[in-house]
């Protein structure tokens, strides 16, 4: 492999170690004690801290901050580490903290994990291989996530919890107990429709007549005792002159995942 390629506007600590084939983009930062394996790529503005060891072919996207100090009141600047395997992807604004002395001192991440934008790995966490962290997925400290697990978008995992192999945590779920391997866990869904967006539509210039037709349609759809098929038939019968209602009907009939009622 070729020598490291360092953009002249990047900042690389004198104590950092860069293996052959490493690429460091403009304004990227490689901190004290960071060791980057062959083929790692830092895109512009990425930040990689230390003490930390990063394996081969990891990709750090712009504005991620990996290997920073633990977010813990007891941290007093003592030496703690982050150890990362090979082939991991850290997308924009991902944050990963090093360990704490009381938690063993090391945060570990295995191989081929995919961290989407704004996800967070807390101090002393232990991450396996080929996991997926969807946008905004957040781990507190001392969490263990085993191989092939998925943490859904904006889901949070309480400290000291474990997520087993192949487990799936659905979006916007709060985990306060261990998630068994092979399981699917998701918070209750109570999203419902509250009828036509009358105020917003009025501000967009909808006439009183258009609003009345839509209000009638939504009352048939979600407040009557009719099922969706019956409600659509009633809408066709009583509101045939409303182009807005016809658009609503076409949308509902083309829905492949159902509609919010």
Q: Domain map of the chain by residue range?
A: 5-185, 198-253
Query: Would you state the pLDDT for residue 188?
Result: 85
pLDDT band at 1 (very low <50, low <70, confident <90, very high): low
| pLDDT, position 217 | 93
> Quick check: is 147 catalytic?
no
Q: What percent of the chain has pLDDT over 70?
A: 100
Q: Residue range 36-64: average pLDDT?
A: 98
Catalytic residue among 31, 72, 99, 124: 124
Q: pTM of the full predicted structure?
A: 0.88
Angle at 72 between CA 68 and CA 76, to 5 degrees: 80
- Per the CB < 8 A criterion, the answer to whether 107 and 51 are in contact is no
Average pLDDT, the chain: 95
Q: What is the mean pLDDT of residues 144-166?
A: 96
Q: Quick one: average pLDDT of 126-154? A: 97
User: Of residues 39, 110, 136, 141, which has the active-site annotation?
Assistant: 141
Question: For residue 103, what is the DSSP state?
Answer: G
Residue 151 and residue 137 in contact, taking contact as beta carbons nearer than 8 Å: yes
Is residue 49 within 8 Å of 79, Cβ to Cβ? no
**The tokens of 243 are what?**
């182009």
Q: Which long-range contacts (CB under 8 A, 24 or more apart) does 170-176 make?
A: 171/134
Instruction: Please list, in sequence order, all residues whose beta carbon lies within 8 angstroms of the beta carbon of residue 178, skipping any fewer than 6 positions away.
Output: 161, 162, 163, 164
Percentages helix, strand, coil for the chain (3-state, rounded to 5) are 20, 25, 60
Confidence class for position 138, pLDDT limits 50, 70, 90: very high
| Tokens at 22, concatenated | 């490493």
Is 142 a residue of the active site? no
Quote the pLDDT of residue 222.
84
Q: What is the pLDDT of residues 221-259, one digit of tens each?
A: 888 888 999 999 999 999 999 999 999 999 999 998 888
124 is a catalytic site residue: yes
Residue range 170-202, pLDDT digits in tens:
999 999 999 999 999 999 878 888 889 999 999
What distances in angstroms separate CA 48 from CA 7, 10, 69, 97, 186, one per listed residue? 15, 12, 11, 11, 33
Q: Which CATH number describes the domain made up of 5-185?
A: 2.160.10.10
Q: Which two tokens stand for residue 39?
A: 């083929």
Q: Is the pLDDT of residue 11 over 70?
A: yes
**What is the arithmetic mean of pLDDT over 143-169?**
96
Fold of 198-253: Udp N-acetylglucosamine O-acyltransferase; Domain 2 (1.20.1180)
- At residue 259, the pLDDT reads 86
Lowest mean pLDDT among 1-5, 119-123, 142-146, 195-199: 1-5
3-state secondary structure of 157: strand
In the block, residue with structure tokens 């997926």: 132
Selecting among 37, 49, 122, 123, the annotated active-site residue is 123
Question: pLDDT, tens digit, for every residue of 108-118?
Answer: 999 999 999 99
The span from the CA of 7 to the CA of 139, in Å, is: 33
């Amino acid at each position: 492999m070729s020598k490291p390629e360092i953009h002249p506007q990047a900042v690389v600590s004198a104590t950092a170690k860069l293996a052959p084939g490493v690429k460091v983009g403009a304004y990227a930062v490689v901190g004290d004690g960071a060791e980057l394996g062959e083929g790692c790529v830092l895109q512009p503005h990425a930040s990689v801290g230390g003490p930390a060891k990063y394996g081969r072919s990891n990709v750090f996207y712009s504005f991620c901050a990996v290997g920073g100090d633990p977010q813990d009141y007891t941290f007093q600047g003592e030496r703690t580490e982050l150890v990362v395997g090979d082939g991991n992807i850290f997308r924009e604004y991902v944050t990963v903290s090093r360990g704490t002395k009381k938690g063993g001192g090391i945060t570990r991440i295995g191989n081929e994990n995919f961290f989407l934008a704004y996800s967070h790995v807390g101090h002393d966490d232990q991450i396996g291989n080929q996991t997926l962290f969807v946008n905004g997925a957040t781990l507190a400290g001392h969490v263990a996530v085993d191989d092939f697990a998925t943490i859904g978008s904006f889901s949070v995992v309480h400290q000291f919890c474990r997520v087993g192999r192949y487990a799936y945590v659905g979006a916007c779920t709060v985990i306060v107990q261990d998630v068994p391997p092979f399981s699917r866990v998701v918070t209750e869904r109570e999203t419902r429709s509250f009828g036509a967006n009358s105020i917003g539509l009025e501000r967009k210039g909808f006439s009183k007549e258009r609003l009345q037709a839509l209000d009638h349609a939504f009352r048939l759809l979600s407040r009557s005792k009719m099922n969706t098929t019956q409600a659509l038939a009633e809408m066709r019968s009583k509101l045939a002159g409303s182009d807005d209602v016809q658009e609503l009907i076409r949308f509902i009939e083309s829905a492949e995942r159902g509609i919010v009622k």
